[in-house]
Amino acid sequence: MEALEARVASMADLFEEEKMKNEARLMKERQDRMRGEEQVKQLQAELGEQRRIAERVVIENRRSVEEEEFEQLREQHAREKRRLENDLDRERESVAALKATLSQQSTAHLTMESTHSALRNQITALTTDLDTHKARIAALEAELVDTKRSNAHLENELREAESLRRKLHNEVQELRGNIRVFARVRPSVRNDSVNAVAQGGAAADGTAALASIRYPNEREANQIEILAAGESATGTATMSKHIFTFDRVFQPSASQADVFEEVAHLTQSVLDGYNTSIFAYGQTGSGKTHTLEGPADCFLTGDDPASHQGAGLIPRAVQMLWGTAEALKDKGWKYDFEGQMLEIYLDGINDLLGRESFDKAKHEIKHDKTRTVITDAVVVPLVSPQQVFALLEKAKKRRQVAATLMNERSSRSHSVFILRVRGQNATTMECCDAVLNLVDLAGSERLSNSGSASDPQRLKEAQSINKSLSSLADVIAALGQNKASAHIPYRNSTLTWLLKNSLGGNSKTLMLLALSPMAAHQSESLCSLRFATKVNATHIGTAKRMLKVDG
C-alpha cells in the first residue's frame, strides 16, 4: 500500500508540473502575440509616415522633379507598399496561428484540469481503500496470532495423541503376544494334480486328493483341524483329529489383502521404533513366497506393485510405511530408509545386491543391543517404494533356485529382506531406529518328499535347509523355557544367528505358517503345524522401543 501511495503522489506531482508548463507556454504565446501586434502597428505607422513624407516630397518637388524621377518614386513606393503588405499578411497569419494554438492549449488545459480533478478523486478513493485495507490487515494479523496460538495448542494435543496412540498400539501388540503365529492354507492349483500323481497322492480318477481340513471356530478364525488316517493298537483303521490353535487362521478363500490387514498393525510398529520381524515357514510349494511377494510378475506391473490385486506382504508393507511416514510429517517426524537383501544358501550369506551373481565374500554377522550388522554387505539408501521394488526384483532373479518334485522351481535358500527405518522429530527431539525383517524360509519338507536324495547337490542343499530349520526349532524351544540362565543356541546356524535380535526379546515377531491343502502333503503339514504350535507357545519378553530424546 505504501508503493501505491508513492505512485499516486508521483502522478499528482507530474500533473502539477505539466499544468505549470502549459501556463508558462500560454503566457509566452500571449506575449509573442502582443509583440506581433505592436510590430504591425509600428509598421503601419512607418507606412503612414512614409506616405506623408512621399506626399510632401511630391508636393514640394512636383513642379521641379522630372517625370522620370516621379515615376521612380512611385515604383519604389509601390514596392515598399507591397513589401509592407506582405509583412502584414504574414503577421496576421502568425497571429491567427497563435490564436489557434492558444485555443488548443486552452482546451488541453481544461482537459488536464478535468483529469487532475479525476485523479484527485481517485487518490481520495484509493486512500480510503488503503485505510480500509490497513484496518483489515490489522484484523487479519490479530486473527493470525489467535490462529497460531490455537494451532500450537492443537499441535501439542496432536503430538500427545500420537504418543498415546503409539503407547496403546504397543500395548495391544503386547497383549496379542510378541511372537504371533498365523496359519494360511493356500487354495489348490493346476499343478497339484501333476505333483500328486508323482508322489502317489492322486485320487482314483487321477485328480489331486485334498486333505480333510476343517476350521472349527470360524467366528474367531483361530483354529484349524486336520483329519488324518491311522491305526489303533489292534490294527484297526481310525481317523484322528488334530486341532491346532493360533493367533489367526486364513482359509484358502482369504485374499492377500485379508492377510495384510492382520499384519499392517505389526508393520506400523517399525515407525513407532520397534524392531519387527515376519518370517514365512512351511514346505516347498505351500505359498510362502506368494504370500510375501505376490505373483511372479508383481514387481513388473509398473510403479506401484502394491496396487496389484495379488500383491504380497512386502509390497503392501513398503507402500504403507512410506505413506504413513509421509502422513507423519505434519506431526514433526522425518524418516530415512535403507535396505539390504540377503540369501542364506548352504549356511553361507549371499548378498543379493552385490556386484557378482553369486557373492564369494565372507560375511560376518555382528550384534549389539539394538541392531545387527552384516560386514561387507551392500546397504542401499531408499527414497521411494519404487526403488525398493526395483531392488527386490533384482534380488529375486539372483536367488538360488532348482527344480524338485515338490515344486517346479523351488527356492533352495532362505531370503531375508532387511528394511531399516530411522526417524527424527524436530519438535519433540525424539529419535527412533528400528528394523523390519521379512524372511522367506526355504521349504521344510523331508528328503524323501523333495526328491533330493538322488542328487548330491540337492541333497546337500536340503540337509543345510533342514539343519537351519532344526536350529530355529532349538532356539524357539530354548526361548520357551523362560529361564534367565538358559543357553540359547543362536550360533548353531547362520539363519538363527542372523535372526538373533528378531527372536530374543527386542523384536515383535510374526511367524506366518503356509500350508498345502493336498492330501499328499498332509504329513508335512502336520509337522509344520506342530512346529508352529511350539513357536506360538513361546514367550520372548517385552519388545523394547528403539527410541531416545536428543539432549
By C-alpha distance, which of 491, 467, 546 is closest to 366?
491
Strand partners, 277: 437, 509
Q: Give the contacts of 25 (CB within 8 A, at least 6 positions apart).
A: 105
Three-state SS for 99-155 is HHHHHHHHHHHHHHHHHHHHHHHHHHHHHHHHHHHHHHHHHHHHHHHHHHHHHHHHH
Burial level of 273, CB count in 10 A (0-12/13-18/19+)?
buried
Close Cβ partners of 280 (under 8 Å, ≥ 6 residues apart): 288, 289, 291, 292, 439, 440, 441, 512, 514
Distance between CA atoms of 416 and 514, rounded to whole angstroms?
A: 17
Residue with cell 524323501: 448
Which whole-number Å values give the CA distances from 200 to 189, 203, 208, 405, 536, in the listed order? 17, 9, 10, 12, 33
List binding-site positions for ATP: 282-289
- CB-based contact 372:500 (threshold 8 Å): yes
Residues annotated within a binding site:
282-289
CA separation, residue 201 to residues 192, 206, 364 (Å): 10, 9, 44
What is the three-state SS of 22-38?
HHHHHHHHHHHHHHHHH
End-to-end CA distance of the chain: 46
Going by their DSSP bridges, the two strands 380-382 and 333-345 should be labelled as antiparallel
